A and B are shown apart, each in its own frame.
Chain A
Amino acid sequence: GAGVSQSPSNKVTEKGKDVELRCDPISGHTALYWYRQSLGQGLEFLIYFQGNSAPDKSGLPSDRFSAERTGGSVSTLTIQRTQQEDSAVYLCASSPPWGEQYFGPGTRLTVT
Chain B
Amino acid sequence: DAKTTQPNSMESNEEEPVHLPCNHSTISGTDYIHWYRQLPSQGPEYVIHGLTSNVNNRMASLAIAEDRKSSTLILHRATLRDAAVYYCIPPWGSQGNLIFGKGTKLSVKP
Contacts and interface: CB of A to CB of B under 8 A. Distances in A.
Interface of A: 4, 31, 33, 35, 42-45, 48, 56, 59, 91, 93, 95, 97-98, 100-106
Interface in B54-89: 87
Interface in B36-54: 36, 42-46, 49
A103 B45 CA distance: 6
A82 to B, nearest CB: 22
28 contacts: A4-B43, A31-B96, A33-B97, A35-B97, A35-B98, A35-B100, A43-B44, A43-B87, A44-B100, A45-B93, A45-B95, A48-B95, A48-B96, A59-B93, A59-B97, A91-B43, A91-B44, A93-B44, A93-B98, A95-B96, A100-B34, A100-B46, A100-B49, A101-B46, A101-B98, A102-B45, A103-B44, A103-B45
